[in-house]
Amino acid sequence: MKADFKKVRKQLEKDLDAKRFEHTLGVAYTASALAMRYQEDLEKAHLAGLLHDCAKCLSNEKKLAICEKHHIPITPIERKNPFLLHAKAGCHVAKKQYHVQDQDVLNAILNHTTGRPGMSQLEKIIYIADYIEPGRKQAPNLTLIRQLAFQDLDDALLTILRDTLEYLKNIDSPVDLLTQQTYDYYFKNKNLSK
């Protein structure tokens, strides 16, 4: 894989607002650091980090339209909360407009918001980097999770999933089936491996 990072960054700067672009750089660097720690492919981690939110600044109508036009299934919860679709739409945009071919990179973009049972190491790295990048300030347990991320990916993943479900419950926001399934899968996984 030979990605032209400079070109990708330039295009992203146009597609995203300033805050989202900053976040994107934070995720790309954090994902690269985690890739070094876990011997993941550095270029893939950097590229997936850069592109994970590439559809974030599209309007809800546009995200829905992309999914509908390309027969990407929309769950009832996504229809009610179209911001969730920035992951599915982003996977499509990464493929068509940023010419990403690598399936693992595309999956990392696709699953970065909800996770999925049986994530690849790269998918976990992007999911976690998105949550812990230096610009994030709000989530509880950030100090602990940042430390955990460099000790054990699955422990960090499960803690983020637990805190996300707790947060969604507190704000009374509907949980996507995949978010719940991912938590259940990694919760079971942890107890099995004990």
Give every CB contact of residue 140 below 8 A, 6+ residues apart in sequence: 163
- Choose from Fe ion, ligand DGI, none: what does 175 bind? Cβ within 5-8 Å by kind: ligand DGI
Give the pair of three-digit tokens for residue 27: 């995720």
Decide whether 60 or 173 has the Cβ nearer to ligand DGI: 173
Q: Residues 20, 57: contact at Cβ < 8 Å?
A: yes
Decide whether 39 or 170 has the Cβ nearer to ligand DGI: 170
112 part of the interface to ligand DGI, by CB under 6 A: yes
The residue among 40, 53, 3, 192 whose CA lies nearest residue 119 is 40
Least separation in angstroms between residue 106's CB and Fe ion is 15
Q: Residues 114, 88: contact at Cβ < 8 Å?
A: no
Q: HSE on the CB side for 43, CA within 13 Å?
A: 9
130 part of the interface to Fe ion, by CB under 5 A: yes
Least separation in angstroms between residue 165's CB and ligand DGI is 8
Give the pair of three-digit tokens for residue 97: 């407009």
Q: Which of residues 30-59 bind Fe ion (CB under 5 A)?
A: 53
Binding residues (CB under 6 A) for ligand DGI: these are 23, 53, 56, 81, 112-114, 130, 164, 168, 173-176, 179
